[in-house]
Amino acid sequence: MKPKLSGKLVMLAASMPLFLSATAWASEVREAVEEKPDLMKLDLGSLILTLLIFACLLVILGKFAWKPILQGLKSREQAIRDSIEAAAKARADAEQSGRELEAKMAEVQRQAAQQLQQAKNDALKLAETIKQQAEAESAALKDRTIREIDAARTQALAEINTHAAELGTAVARKILQRDVNADDQQRLVDESLAEMAKKN
């Protein structure tokens, strides 16, 4: 409570005995004037005095009590109005924050789905690349193996032909009982190879 308001209430409380004593004095005056009061008869002096006291009381109350009470009620009303507005603003802010949060969560989910799809696509591309590399390496290995097999077969055939020629030369030498020189031997080997190539 404000100091001014409490001072006014003290003044109001102090004026109450004055009002009561004035009312008591008015009633004593009326009793003194009339020994037998007539209820239907209106005493003008009492009426004026009562109205005067009532008017003074209204002025005192209006000046010291009603204005502070009205100001207190207005300030309380304004405080309630401000609280309601603040609550409405806080609610609107909370709703806005909720909408922003939902939008951010939706964006994060969309980005996560996009990144997941990108990772799947990258994995498929990598698997396809690995598969193509494996197929290429397999084909190269197969070609190299076939070439090596052909070379080994050709070398083996050449060695077989050489041994066959040497064997044939040895047999022919024994049959002919003569020596065959290196040139004759090479010529016989070439002829034998040519005949074998024709047969193959």
Amino acid, single-letter form, for residue 185:
Q
Query: Same domain for 107 and 191?
Result: no
Residues 18 and 73 in one domain: yes
pLDDT at 157: 81
- What local confidence, expressed as pLDDT, does residue 83 receive? 93
- 104 and 159 co-located in one domain: no
**Same domain as 161, residue 74:** no
pLDDT at 150: 86
Task: Output the pLDDT for position 91.
Answer: 93
Both 80 and 28 in one domain: the answer is yes
Residue (of 198, 197, 200, 168) closest to 185 by Cα position: 168
Residue located via tokens 């009061």 = 37
- Whole domain around residue 26: which residue ranges? 3-119
Whether residues 107 and 153 share a domain: the answer is no
d(CA 100, CA 106): 10
Cα pseudo-dihedral 183, 188, 193, 196, rounded to 10: 180
Helix axes 67-176, 3-33, angle to 10 degrees: 150
pLDDT per 10-residue tile (average), the chain, 200 residues: 53 60 65 55 77 87 79 90 93 92 92 91 90 88 88 83 69 59 73 69
Say yes or no: 19 and 111 in one domain: yes
Distance of alpha carbon 109 from alpha carbon 111, whole angstroms? 5
- Cα distance between residue 100 and residue 81, in whole Å: 28
Length of the chain: 200
Show Cβ contacts of residue 65 under 8 Å, excluding neighbours closer than 6 positions: 8, 9, 12
DSSP per position, the chain: --HHHHHHHHHHHHHHHHHHHHHHHHHHHHHHH-SS--TTS--HHHHHHHHHHHHHHHHHHIIIIIHHHHHHHHHHHHHHHHHHHHHHHHHHHHHHHHHHHHHHHHHHHHHHHHHHHHHHHHHHHHHHHHHHHHHHHHHHHHHHHHHHHHHHHHHHHHHHHHHHHHHHHHHHHHHHTS---HHHHHHHHHHHHHHHHHH-
Cα(192)–Cα(162) distance, integer angstroms? 9
Q: Identify whether residues 82 and 158 lie together within a single domain.
A: no
Q: Residues 92, 189: one domain?
A: no
| Residues 87, 32 share a domain | yes
- Same domain for 26 and 97, yes or no, is yes
Q: Looking at the 3D structure of the chain, how many domains does it have?
A: 2
Is 140 domain-assigned? no
pLDDT of residue 89: 93
